[in-house]
């Protein structure tokens, strides 16, 4: 991968042997490995033994989970916040695992629409809850720094499963809770 980055530098008209760029191919390759580590992770290894039997039957929401991903169309960053909820059906998951689920799918070449669905599907598979809701808000550098250059644009996607899709009051409760005062 380092050699490919070296060739990219040459192709854009740079000298990869100049002082400021000598280590750039190595750093860029390391950064790319980090930003795509989701390909080398699985939901099973991340969730591990963090599923617990519990009678709690009210909505669980983790809001404002920061994520960073790469657009598969331009390999440019998109970043934002994920809001993940589920309605337990006898099992709960360690709350940090919800953030880790987001990261597994964010650390791949992605489109936001697919990533939203993948997070919901993964949570549904490991917990079998009554329902899952995922809302993602992101800013896309491929839209902000090139093309239409709309720096203030934000993309919102959602995936509702189970009772979140079938029962309007449940869905509305989730969406209303996302708009609570965020100065906690």
Q: Establish whether 83 is a catalytic residue.
A: no
Backbone φ, ψ for residue 63 (5° rounding): -105, 160
Q: Establish whether 140 is a catalytic residue.
A: yes
Instruction: Round to the nearest angstrom and report the end-to-end CA distance of the chain.
Output: 43
Given 71, 110, 118, 173, the catalytic residue = 71
Residue 161 token pair: 């499963």
Given 72, 113, 125, 166, the catalytic residue = 72
Q: Establish whether 74 is a catalytic residue.
A: yes
Nearest Cα to 87, choosing from 149, 37, 130? 130
Given 2, 14, 74, 137, the catalytic residue = 74
Beta strands in 22-108 (DSSP E): 51-53, 60-71, 77-87, 91-93
Residue 83 token pair: 């809001």
Given 112, 118, 159, 173, the catalytic residue = 112
Given 73, 113, 128, 172, the catalytic residue = 73
Given 83, 110, 118, 140, the catalytic residue = 140
Backbone φ, ψ for residue 50 (5° rounding): -100, 30
Q: Establish whether 44 is a catalytic residue.
A: no
Q: Establish whether 71 is a catalytic residue.
A: yes
Q: Establish whether 179 is a catalytic residue.
A: no
Measured distance CA(82)–CA(2) in Å, rounded: 32
Give me the active site residues, please: 71-74, 112, 140, 142
């Amino acid at each position: 991968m380092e050699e490919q980055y070296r060739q990219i530098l040459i192709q854009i008209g740079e000298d990869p042997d100049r002082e400021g760029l000598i280590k750039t191919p190595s750093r860029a390759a390391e950064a790319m490995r980090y930003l795509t580590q989701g390909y080398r992770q699985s939901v099973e290894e991340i969730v591990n033994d963090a599923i617990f039997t519990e009678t709690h039957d009210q909505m669980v929401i983790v809001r404002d989970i920061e994520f960073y991903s790469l657009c598969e169309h331009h390999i440019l960053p998109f970043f934002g916040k994920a809001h993940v909820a589920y309605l337990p059906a006898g099992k709960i998951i360690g709350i940090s695992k919800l953030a880790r689920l987001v990261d597994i799918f964010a650390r791949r070449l992605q489109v936001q629409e697919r990533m939203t669905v993948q997070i919901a599907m993964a949570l549904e598979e490991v917990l079998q809850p009554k329902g899952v809701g995922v809302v993602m808000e992101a800013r896309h550098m491929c839209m902000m720094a090139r093309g239409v250059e709309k720096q203030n644009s934000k993309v919102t996607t959602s995936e509702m499963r189970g009772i979140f899709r079938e029962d309007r009051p449940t869905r509305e409760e989730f969406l209303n809770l996302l708009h609570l005062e965020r100065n906690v």
